Amino acid sequence: MTAIERIKKILRPLGVYRLDGDTLVEKELQAEACALQELEKEIDRFYRELFISTAEEEGLILREKLCGGEKVGRPLSNRRKMLLFRGAVTAAGNTRKKVEEALTACGLLCSVTEFADRLYINCHGMLDQTLTKEGAEKAAQEFLPAHIPCYFDFRELSWQEIEEKGLTFAQMDLAGLTWEQIDSYMG
């Protein structure tokens, strides 16, 4: 229903105005309806910008400024994903899964392997393609536990992939391959 139709629907039961399609009152109502339609468009846009899942401009930019910098020019889906994960980070998020989600908030797609004295972070990709490896590590430090050393690996090879091959250490060692050769062999 258009703005003019809504206005007429409200005024018709009053019986005060003749609304047969060609009165001066209707001309005035049409002018007001045009202004109302523009206002409604702005309200709809404002409402969309309130929520990360529907924001496209100001809503994302304002949130990104709060989180350390605008990501204008990057895919909207990646920007939204980073903001949503950033909003989900809590002080109680100290599980492996929660650490991986926090790293997603920094723009890293990775898997975390826990060792007794360190974390191994295998980075498979980046949501923010303009981010450097050093920049990604620096951004990640905000969420990583300060008391545990964390090692970042930006190669394609992961411990999980090595384990999935079902090879023993002796079998790998007998092949006499360097790490670079293993990396290309596993791929």
Q: Which residue has the tokens 């391959």?
A: 177
Above pLDDT 90, what percent of the chain? 8
* Residues 177/185, Cβ–Cβ less than 8 Å: yes
Does residue 84 or residue 152 have the better pLDDT?
152
SS3 content of the chain, % helix, strand, coil (to 5): 55, 10, 35
pLDDT tens for each residue of 116-172: 888 888 888 888 777 788 888 888 887 788 888 888 988 766 667 777 778 777 777
Looking at residue 187, its pLDDT comes to 47
DSSP-H helix ranges across 1-156: 3-11, 24-50, 58-66, 76-88, 96-105, 133-141
Residues 123, 86: Cα–Cα separation, whole Å? 18
Region 51-67: what's the mean pLDDT? 86
pLDDT band for position 43 (50/70/90)? very high
Domain residue ranges in the chain: 3-50, 65-154
Looking at residue 57, its pLDDT comes to 85
pTM: 0.53
pLDDT tens for each residue of 27-38: 888 888 888 889
